Structure formats: C-alpha cells, structure tokens
Structure 1
C-alpha cells in the first residue's frame, strides 16, 4: 500500500511536469482510476452505506442593474440597482444503501485489477524513463 501511495503522489505531480512525468501520468491513468474506486469502495464498506452525489438547481440572487422606462418628460431609460435571479447548480450528497456482500466482491475484483495494472505500470514507467531521461 505504501508503494501505491507513493506512486499516486508521483503521478499526481506528473500532470504538469516534465515529458517523462507526463508520459508516466498518461500511461497510468487506468491505475489511478482503479485506486480511486478502491478507496471509495473501502469507505462504503467501513460506513455500511454509499454516498451518492446529485445535482440540484437552486436560485442565486446577485446585484444587477435593470433599466426602467423613462417618463413622458424624459423618455431615456434609467438604470436602477436591484437584485436579479439566476440559476446555479449545486452538488449535494445523500446516503444510499448498498449490498455489502456485493460491495466486498467488487472491492476484491478491483484489488486484483490493481495488481495487474501495477505490474503493467512498472514496464510502462521503465519505458517512459528510457524515452525521456531526466
């Protein structure tokens, strides 16, 4: 697990790094995704439920300027400071029940996949280091 954590930190930093780091990051994307899913699955099993994310559209009031029609004496529209409603999207969370046995099975399958991807990543990292020496 320590190797995995160190590898994650290295690849996260590689996103904006040297060509070698970019090569490693690009070619280990699946491994990082599987590791993220493993963390999520472990959290679900520890809690006993999943956390579901969903979007809600909510009103958002902001200061703005509106123009009101002018009068007969002065037909030019006048600016008036007021509040305007716009719509914003918020991401909220809520608990969701899960089948714990199914979640444990999914976790074990992800861990097997992680081992396979880690082995593949070793050769990819070596290739990237050979292609882009620092």
Structure 2
C-alpha cells in the first residue's frame, strides 16, 4: 500500500475506525467497506497524477552481518555459549517508481469518482443507521 496518500476526504471518517472499536464503530466499518476502498484507490490515483509516477513494492533478499549464538564445549565437555559474527538473509521491502500513462490515470480517476459519488449516499445512510442503532454517550 502506498505511503504517500495525499487525498483525505473529511467524509471518510470510518477509515480511522478499527475492528476493536465500539459497536457503532464496528457497524460503520463493516457497512462502509466498499466506500472506503474506493476512496483509498481514488486517493492513490490522484497521488500518482500529482507526482507523475506510481509507487510499487517488491521483496528483496539482502545479506547482513549479525551476531550468531554458538554453543561449544571445552576440553572437559562443559557447554559454553558464545557469539560470533555471521551472515544472515534479511527480506526487505523496496519501493520503486513506475511510470504512468496520464490518460489511463485520468480515466481511472473519473470512474472512481463516479463510483464514490454513487456510494456516498448509501454510506451516509449507513452511518446514520448505525448511529441510531448503537448510540454512544457524549464524552466531555
């Protein structure tokens, strides 16, 4: 998932909600999943257009020097623990730039905007229904 999301819609409050929230938060999160996904994709496309390129990620295996535990026995047969340098593989995630076709990204943005607009009315209804079904006391 891209780290540079620049677009945040104020109406996308459920993005901040987690599965371990209140019953109202869980209701909203569960019923606005598609709306939040479309919003996230739209933000990604708009970020790509603003930058002029997209980000992708790949897994890379790199060696790194570390300390490895070693058990050895002395001449009397007693076990001792020591540490010595050794090489280990480390899997890292590497981000890299990918060129985009602005015309394709514009079409994606138009389609995602249209889909988001279509879902926004239902998302607002769901939020109101969840608030009515699971009222929360005001904290203050």
Q: Taking structure 2 as the reference length, what is the TM-score of the superposition?
A: 0.78
**8 Å contact 2:53–2:100 — kept in the other structure?**
yes
CA deviations 1:83-110 (Å, max 9, x no partner) are 3433322111111122211111011101
Counterpart among 119, 122, 125 of residue 120 in structure 1: 122
4+ runs of 1 displaced by more than 6 Å? none
Identify the structure with the greater helix proportion: 1
Compared CA separation, residues 24 and 102, structure 1 to 2 (3 A)? same
SS at match of 1:93: strand
Question: How far did residue 69 of structure 1 move?
Answer: 4.2
SS at match of 2:74: coil
Compared CA separation, residues 60 and 29, structure 1 to 2 (3 A)? farther
Residue 26, structure 1, aligned to residue 30, structure 2: yes
Counterpart among 9, 12, 17 of residue 14 in structure 1: 17
Q: Which runs of 5+ in 2 are unaligned?
A: 1-7
**8 Å contact 2:15–2:36 — kept in the other structure?**
no
CA deviations 1:18-39 (Å, max 9, x no partner) are 2111111111122111111111
Question: How far did residue 53 of structure 1 move?
Answer: 1.3
Question: How far did residue 11 of structure 1 move?
Answer: 1.3
Residue 5, structure 1, aligned to residue 9, structure 2: yes
Instruction: Report how many aligned residue pairs link the two structures.
Output: 128
CA distance in 2, matches of 1:131, 1:85: 57
1:98 — aligned with what? Answer: 100
Compared CA separation, residues 51 and 22, structure 1 to 2 (3 A)? same
